[in-house]
Amino acid sequence: MRKNQSTHQAVESALKRSLNNWETKQVSDTTHQIIELIEVEQKENLIFEG
């Protein structure tokens, strides 16, 4: 993924086609879920290591 490239643009590039609206929403939702998981993991690490 290139710097300043959105997640859905990276997926489009990998698939070599444009995403439809449903696919774009799915990529966005999944990206947000991954970010939330990372944030929870970081908080847990602070709690257990701190």
pTM: 0.75
User: Of 38, 21, 24, nearest to 11 (Cα)?
Assistant: 24
d(CA 39, CA 48): 14
Q: For residues 29 and 1, which has the higher predicted lDDT (pLDDT)?
A: 29
The per-residue pLDDT for 9 is 93
d(CA 40, CA 46): 10
User: Of 21, 36, 37, nearest to 12 (Cα)?
Assistant: 21
Least confident of 21-30, 31-40, 41-50: 41-50
